[in-house]
Amino acid sequence: MTTLTLASRWNPIDWPLTHGPIPQAVLLAGWAALFALAVGRGRSWWRVRLPAALITAAALSLLLEVLVDGWWHPFPEGTPRYVTWWIAVALLGFCLAGYRMRRLSWPRRGLALGLSGLVLLMAASEVNTGFGQFPNGRVMLAPWLTRTEGLVAAKVAQTVSAQPQQVLEEVWQPPANLPDKGTVSVVPIPGLRSGFKARDAYVYLPPAYQATPRPLLPVVVMLPGQPGQPGDWVLSGQINAAMDAFAAEHHGLAPIVVMPDQLGSTWANTLCLDSKIAKVQTYLAVDVPRWVQQNLQAATGPKAWAIGGASMGGTCALQLGVNAPDVYGTVLDMSGQEEPTLGTREETVKAAFGGDGKKFEAVDPAHVMARRKFPDTSIALVVGEHDGEFRPQMEKVYQRAQEAGMKAKFELMPGGHGWVVFRPGIVRQIPWLAQQTGLTR
């Protein structure tokens, strides 16, 4: 599809940024800019300054890797290799520009900086292509474009619920004035029992929630990865649009989606446990459901409640599914780990439980599933087919879930690890979530 065709069909902010002509053009311009920066005149450039730029870029890349993965260590599994590579390419662009500066006029210095900026843009575009954070400009601008509204907190006297052996869709009669779209609200969910200081949560209420009588809808709790924020499932995952599309085909019905914070801050890793770090399991198993019961009208019981997430959020969903099965009867684990981790088992046990391995084993999903059966729990495991880090772990979780008696399914999605899998993954799993939670047949 040509850029001219795109321009005639879509708003420019909807043009794809992870495939098609735009990222290809950025890639071509970036490599051309890097080539222009690398080619120079004179022996001193080829013998001294170009090698110096290469060595400097390599040294800075190595130093950055040591600082991030060795000292800071924000990601238990380490920084993805393709991200490290493109960071090194961006650094090379700036190093090449830097070693040119002294002998250039001011206009040419500006040109060199512009070329290095193109290299940086290329690197950012390629990382985005791999992770899929911003498939288009609309998602990139979502923090400014997404409309949030006040929570529909008023409760109605008349509600609709399904009887045993029925699903909600079979007894629901939508009113004529039902809105086309649901609402997204940002609300605080305090950790009254856990003491956990969470950031404000996002709540999606489908069109049917605004009707009278109001259907008692199931609840899906969705968790972000790490690093992350509660709004990721709206801003990057576009889950509200996916739910609106599902509701349009089911008379306004869709699950209520509550997106709380299990991290506390963007880069934190609480392990989603009750430990020395924080009491996040209590927050998600007690505080969040209690807030929903007090502030919303929704279906109750584990059969009507699901918990899901991506990456660290998927690991967290699995943990809640096995440690709080009386709250969550359905689990959606997307590209999660086989166990909560800060890097190694030893590091995790030391930080969370003061070195007491038995306390870790008491809540670790693998150990819990080995000693307990879960015949009433349904779980979907979704992972990218090219995700070399997380796919093997998810395969182990699938086997353990089956052995523990869960109703388990395993699905591969095109791609690696990131929103390139999570965003289409949630669209694909919404019908399954609706079935498992009693919304549809």
- What pLDDT is attached to residue 396? 98
Radius of gyration of the chain (CA): 25
Domain C-terminal end among 79, 103, 131: 131
State whether 370 and 412 are in the same domain: yes
Domain C-terminal end among 103, 131, 159: 131
Tell me the per-residue pLDDT of 52-70, one tens digit each, with 9 for 90 and over.
999 999 999 999 999 998 8
Residue 203, domain member (yes or no): yes
State whether 44 and 169 are in the same domain: no
Which amino acid, 199? R
State whether 65 and 183 are in the same domain: no
Residue 284, domain member (yes or no): yes
**If DSSP codes are grouped into helix, strand and coil, which group holds residue 136?**
strand
As a whole number of angstroms, the distance between CA 233 and CA 222 comes to 7
Q: Residue 247 in contact with residue 206, Cβ under 8 Å?
A: yes
Q: Is the pLDDT of residue 93 over 70?
A: yes
Tell me the three-class secondary structure of 79-114, residue by residue.
CCHHHHHHHHHHHHHHHHHHHHHHHCCHHHHHHHHH
**If DSSP codes are grouped into helix, strand and coil, which group holds residue 277?**
coil
| Angle at 353 (CA atoms; ends 332, 324), nearest 5 degrees | 30
- What pLDDT is attached to residue 425? 97
- What pLDDT is attached to residue 142? 87
Range of the domain at 44: 3-131
As a whole number of angstroms, the distance between CA 344 and CA 76 comes to 8
Q: Is the pLDDT of residue 337 over 90?
A: yes
As a whole number of angstroms, the distance between CA 104 and CA 28 comes to 25
- What pLDDT is attached to residue 66? 92
Residue 50, domain member (yes or no): yes
Residue 334: φ, ψ to 5°: -110, 110
Residue 137, domain member (yes or no): no
State whether 240 and 276 are in the same domain: yes
State whether 266 and 229 are in the same domain: yes
Give percent above pLDDT 70 in the chain.
Answer: 98
Q: Residue 270 in contact with residue 351, Cβ under 8 Å?
A: no
Q: Which residues of 226-254 are buried (b: 16+ CB within 10 A; e: fewer)?
A: bbbbbbbbbbbbbbbbbbbebbeebbbbb
- What pLDDT is attached to residue 5? 57
Using CA atoms, how far residue 391 sits from 111, 233, 286, 314, 366, in Å, is 44, 21, 31, 13, 16
The closest alpha carbon to 376, from 301, 272, 271, 266, belongs to: 301
Task: Name the pLDDT band for 3 (thresholds 50, 70, 90).
Answer: low
State whether 113 and 7 are in the same domain: yes
Assign residue 235 a region (left: φ > 0; alpha: ψ between -120 and 50; beta: otherwise): alpha
As a whole number of angstroms, the distance between CA 239 and CA 256 comes to 11
As a whole number of angstroms, the distance between CA 336 and CA 316 comes to 8
Tell me the per-residue pLDDT of 111-152, one tens digit each, with 9 for 90 and over.
999 999 999 999 999 999 999 999 999 889 988 888 899 998
Domain C-terminal end among 99, 131, 163: 131
State whether 294 and 407 are in the same domain: yes
State whether 123 and 170 are in the same domain: no
Residue 125, domain member (yes or no): yes
**If DSSP codes are grouped into helix, strand and coil, which group holds residue 148?**
coil
State whether 288 and 190 are in the same domain: yes
Over residues 357-381, mean pLDDT: 97
Residue 138, domain member (yes or no): no
What are the residues whose beta carbons fall under 8 Å from the beta carbon of 293, sequence distance 6 or more? 300
Tokens at 2, concatenated: 């040509």
In angstroms, the first-to-last Cα distance of the chain is: 39
Residue 402, domain member (yes or no): yes
Our count of domains for the chain comes to 2
As a whole number of angstroms, the distance between CA 331 and CA 436 comes to 10
Give percent above pLDDT 90 in the chain.
Answer: 85
State whether 207 and 267 are in the same domain: yes
Assign residue 181 a region (left: φ > 0; alpha: ψ between -120 and 50; beta: otherwise): beta
State whether 168 and 117 are in the same domain: no
Task: Name the pLDDT band for 293 (thresholds 50, 70, 90).
Answer: very high
State whether 361 and 237 are in the same domain: yes
Does the N-terminal peptide bond of residue 207 adopt cis geometry, omega within 30 degrees of 0? no
Which amino acid, 327? V
Q: Is the pLDDT of residue 8 over 90?
A: no
Residue 58, domain member (yes or no): yes
Question: pTM of the prediction?
Answer: 0.91
Q: What is the mean pLDDT of the chain?
A: 94
CATH of the domain at 409: 3.40.50.1820
If 0-12 CB within 10 Å is exposed, 13-18 middle and 19+ buried, where does residue 379 land?
buried
Q: Which residues of 21-43 are buried (b: 16+ CB within 10 A; e: fewer)?
A: ebbeebbebbeebbeebeebeee
Token match 């039902």: residue?
Answer: 178
Tell me the per-residue pLDDT of 215-240, one tens digit each, with 9 for 90 and over.
999 999 999 999 999 999 999 999 99
Q: Is the pLDDT of residue 2 over 70?
A: no
As a whole number of angstroms, the distance between CA 230 and CA 137 comes to 21
Cα 179 to chain center, whole Å?
Answer: 28
Polymer length in residues for the chain: 441
